[in-house]
Amino acid sequence: MIRVLGLGDNVVDKYLHIRTMYPGGNALNIAVLAKLMGIEAGYLGVFGDDEAASHVYRTIVDLGIDVSHCRFYHGENGYAEVRLDDGDRVFVGTNQGGVSLEHPISELTGLELDYIAGFDVCHSSIFSYAEEALPAIRKVSPFVSYDFSNRYDEEYLKKCCPYIDMAVISCGDMPEDDILEQMRRILSYGCRHIVLATRGSLGAILMIDGKIYEQSPCLVEAVDTMAAGDSFITSFLVNYLDGMKDAVDFSEESGARGVTSIEQYKDLLIRTSLYRAAVFAAGNCQRDGSFGFGKTF
């Protein structure tokens, strides 16, 4: 199985109506959700020294996430303030990452780069303040995934895309033609392999090596949609990257029955990985917060 590293943001999501905080953050979520899938996972990020930081740190250590290369500073951990509208999470405030804004992961030590190189995929995000480190990450990581959410502009895409293998964008109800145009631009800016557009209840669109796939959502009555997109991303990454390790072209002497080529296998794997991602995301919508573990504040 592959090894997954989340590099960048961690927060607590503070649910104001019930005064409960849940661990979260895009980069952290990818690591934790991979771990919950049975995948070996690590997290490299910045923690403060307040109650929120302590809760996030203790939770992920108890879950078995490797945090051996995290950084710690005096100050307020990142947080977002949240309310729920019929199970759909709505962000109403943030401290912009707390100590990670003041102490971004812009430079990496040799030890940290060696650590990153030990994982099959390194995932980061626009909320992580790690864009300056992407050239160094690109040199050591076999696969770099980056979530731009819906906060990017064209200059930011041009800056980051040459160093990533997979870009993720959040598109909501954006017209499909506009989504496809944006995906093609991301590839033209240097993204090497995959663009994934998540659309909430409208499902997802995937562009991989120029080919387009669509996936309907596995609709459920959601308890909480927090990290629905992150769970979709995690499941797709794990299933696709791990599955491609088995890809092989059969020799001509093998015959032509069934699946005998990498391209045939890859097509089936992509469709299966998208399906499993939709199912996994639906399941994650049945728990509170990004992955549970709430604490009153």
Q: Per residue in 102-140, pLDDT tens?
A: 999 999 999 999 999 999 999 999 999 999 999 999 999
Q: Which residue has the tokens 């919950």?
A: 36
pLDDT at 87: 65
Residues 6+ apart with CB under 8 A from 270: 206, 208, 213, 240
Tell me the pLDDT tens digit for each residue of 215-247. 999 999 999 999 999 999 999 999 999 999 999
Q: What is the dihedral of CA 129, 239, 273, 180, to 10 degrees?
A: 30
Question: How far, in Å, are 75, 119, 164 from residue 104 at the CA level?
Answer: 13, 21, 19
Count other C-beta atoms under 10 Å from residue 20's C-beta: 17
Per-residue pLDDT of the chain (297 residues; tens, 9 = 90+): 899 999 999 999 999 989 999 999 999 999 999 999 999 999 999 999 999 999 999 999 999 999 999 999 999 999 999 987 776 778 889 999 999 999 999 999 999 999 999 999 999 999 999 999 999 999 999 999 999 999 999 999 999 999 999 999 999 999 999 999 999 999 999 999 999 999 999 999 999 988 999 999 999 999 999 999 999 999 999 999 999 999 999 999 999 999 999 999 999 999 999 999 999 999 999 999 999 999 999
Helix (H) or strand (E) holding 295: strand 295-296
Strand order in the sheet with 295-296: 88-94, 79-85, 11-15, 20-24, 295-296
pLDDT at 181: 97
* Nearest to 170, CA basis, from 194, 145, 188, 195: 195
At 199, list the tokens. Answer: 């659309």
Strand order in the sheet with 40-47: 71-72, 40-47, 3-8, 121-125, 144-147, 166-170, 194-198, 204-208, 211-215
DSSP state, residue 59: H
pTM of the model as a whole: 0.95
pLDDT at 86: 73
DSSP state, residue 3: E
* Nearest to 141, CA basis, from 259, 44, 266: 44
Check if the beta carbon of residue 55 is closer than 8 Å to that of residue 84: no
- Sorted by where each starts, the structural domains of the chain and their CATH numbers stand as 3-296 (3.40.1190.20)
pLDDT at 154: 96
